Amino acid sequence: MGLFDRFKKKNQEKAEDLASSEELAKAEQPALISEAEDTPALDAKVEVEEAEAESEADAALDPEEKSEDAEDKSSEEADQQAVYEEGLTQSRKGFADRFNRFLANFRSVDEDFFEDLEDTLIGADLGFDLAISISNQVREAVKLENVKDKEAIKELIVRLMVESYERQGENEDQSMHFAPKGQPTVILFVGVNGVGKTTTVGKMAQRYKDQGKKIMLAAADTFRAGAVKQLQEWGDRAQVPVVAGPEKADPSSVVYQAVERAKDEQVDILFVDTAGRLQNNVNLMQELAKMNRVIQKVLPEAPQEVLLVLDATTGQNALQQAKLFKDSSEVTGLVLTKMDGTAKGGIVFAIRDQLHLPVKWIGFGEKASDLRAFSAEDFVYGLFKDLVKN
Ligand SMILES: Nc1nc2c(ncn2[C@@H]2O[C@H](COP(=O)(O)OP(=O)(O)OP(=O)(O)O)[C@@H](O)[C@H]2O)c(=O)[nH]1
């Protein structure tokens, strides 16, 4: 089943769950009011209670079906979905407002319609190329499928966006890569200043520490005075060591020390926070290349990941930064931060369309638990759940 069909199915299931819990609440309410009398409403409540008791008894009789593992997994999934839904609130509203405004003017599918559609998609941060491509596909589909009413048009546009996302990432590897057991994995974080590198290093350190890994951090952002201190605070919080040099030290020398130490102390993962001056700064790219050489002197197979951190609130500008970094360093994946602070979730589609790099992580806030592995399903659901009717 494709991503869009899975989204539709989930949307439908959620709507049914909501309807049945509303029905249950309705059945309970009149019963409470007329508790003293032996009314049909009370009977309804008793029936519901009996049904609940029965299903509880069933569950107790069938322990295999309700194993603890399955419960843990489903509560983890529910938690993850809730974080996505909450973190995408602004983007979801932004998309819905934009689409509703666009469709409010809808009379017929004519040239004005396509112009408005393109503006709407560009406004949602899908980027020019993808907006035109979706608009052309809508043109074809409208002809072929004879789509006329507003709801069907809305659904068609969402379907085309989701399908284009899926198509672009056919061979994409979203998983994290690690060194063979017994050797440290090195993960380098790159990106311009202020995008959230240090914060992401801190969050990820906490996450892998909680999974029982031995973690070390390297403060190679020696450019900004506060960056080392900020990383040390995350290190203290997660109780993991931070390797730092003196102020304005050569970042590569800090990295060298850290890699040697990580190897000696049999660390599982070394996270390296780097400085992010302007993207057109040739020195920055040279510095990243130097760091790579220094790491490979000690660990020839490292770094296993070079994660480019992008700030979702900067929209198309993030895309331009990503192109520059991609051209001059071996980026293996993206971290999209501050997704909670944008009303234009379309940047994820633009990145997929233009870069062919996997988004591996997504940040929904400043707390350690706000960083999540990227899930296309949870993302699509969080973004479009209110837009497509069942
Ligand atoms: N709302 C929100 N804020 C975030 C997120 N990630 C990071 N931030 C905030 O963004 C600001 C910049 O984050 P940093 O981690 O310092 O950015 P940096 O890339 O290391 O910056 P430099 O050290 O200057 O290169 C901080 O105030 C963070 O708390 C996120 O997912 N959501």
Confidence at residue 54, expressed as pLDDT on a 0 to 100 scale: 45
pTM of the prediction?
0.83
Residue 266 tokens read as 């049999």
Confidence at residue 51, expressed as pLDDT on a 0 to 100 scale: 45
State if residue 382 touches ligand 1 by the CB under 6 angstroms criterion.
no
Task: Give the distance (Å) from ligand 1 centre to CA of residue 338.
Answer: 8
Q: Is 127 annotated as a binding residue?
A: no
Mutate to test the pocket of ligand 1, among 199, 334, 339, 374 (most ligand atoms within 8 A of CB): 199
State if residue 90 touches ligand 1 by the CB under 6 angstroms criterion.
no
Q: Is 195 annotated as a binding residue?
A: yes
Q: Is 1 annotated as a binding residue?
A: no
The pLDDT of residue 320 is above 90: no
- The atom of ligand 1 lying closest to the CA of 365 is 32
The pLDDT of residue 196 is above 90: yes
Contacts 24+ apart (CB under 8 A), 100-104: 103/150, 103/153, 103/154
Q: Residue 346 — φ and ψ, nearest 5°?
A: -65, -15
- The atom of ligand 1 lying closest to the CA of 274 is 25
CA–CA distance from 172 to each of 41, 80, 165, 371 (Å)? 55, 22, 11, 21
Q: pLDDT, tens digit, for every residue of 16-52?
A: 887 787 777 777 765 544 444 444 444 444 444 444 4
Mean pLDDT for 305-318 is 92
What is the strand order of the sheet 269-274 is part of? 242-243, 215-220, 269-274, 185-190, 305-311, 333-337, 359-363, 371-373
The pLDDT of residue 264 is above 50: yes
Tell me what percent of the residues of the chain surpass a pLDDT of 70: 86
Mean pLDDT for 83-102 is 91
Confidence at residue 13, expressed as pLDDT on a 0 to 100 scale: 87
The pLDDT of residue 129 is above 60: yes
State if residue 127 touches ligand 1 by the CB under 6 angstroms criterion.
no
Q: Is 338 annotated as a binding residue?
A: yes
Q: What CA–CA distance (Å, rounded) separates 71 from 69?
A: 5
Q: Is 194 annotated as a binding residue?
A: yes
CB count in 10 Å sphere of residue 343: 17
Task: Give the distance (Å) from ligand 1 centre to CA of residue 210.
Answer: 22
Confidence at residue 47, expressed as pLDDT on a 0 to 100 scale: 45
State if residue 199 touches ligand 1 by the CB under 6 angstroms criterion.
yes
Confidence at residue 172, expressed as pLDDT on a 0 to 100 scale: 73
pLDDT band at 62 (very low <50, low <70, confident <90, very high): low
Contact assessment for residue 270 and residue 216, using Cβ atoms and an 8 Å cutoff: yes
Mean pLDDT for 112-121 is 91
Contact assessment for residue 164 and residue 3, using Cβ atoms and an 8 Å cutoff: no
Contact assessment for residue 202 and residue 288, using Cβ atoms and an 8 Å cutoff: no
Residue 294 tokens read as 């220094």
The pLDDT of residue 295 is above 90: yes
Atom 21 in ligand 1: which residue has the minimum CA distance?
A: 194
Q: pLDDT, tens digit, for every residue of 230-249?
A: 999 999 999 999 999 887 78
The pLDDT of residue 147 is above 90: no
Closest-CA residue to 292 (of 256, 334, 340): 256
SS3 84: helix
SS3 336: strand
SS3 172: coil
Q: pLDDT, tens digit, for every residue of 349-377?
A: 998 888 888 999 999 999 999 999 999 88
The contacts of residue 296 (CB under 8 Å, 6+ apart) are 302
Confidence at residue 224, expressed as pLDDT on a 0 to 100 scale: 77
229/277: higher pLDDT: 229
Q: Average per-residue pLDDT in the chain?
A: 84
The pLDDT of residue 328 is above 90: no
Task: Give the distance (Å) from ligand 1 centre to CA of residue 195.
Answer: 5
Confidence at residue 74, expressed as pLDDT on a 0 to 100 scale: 72
- With residue 226 as reference, give the H or E element that holds it: helix 225-238
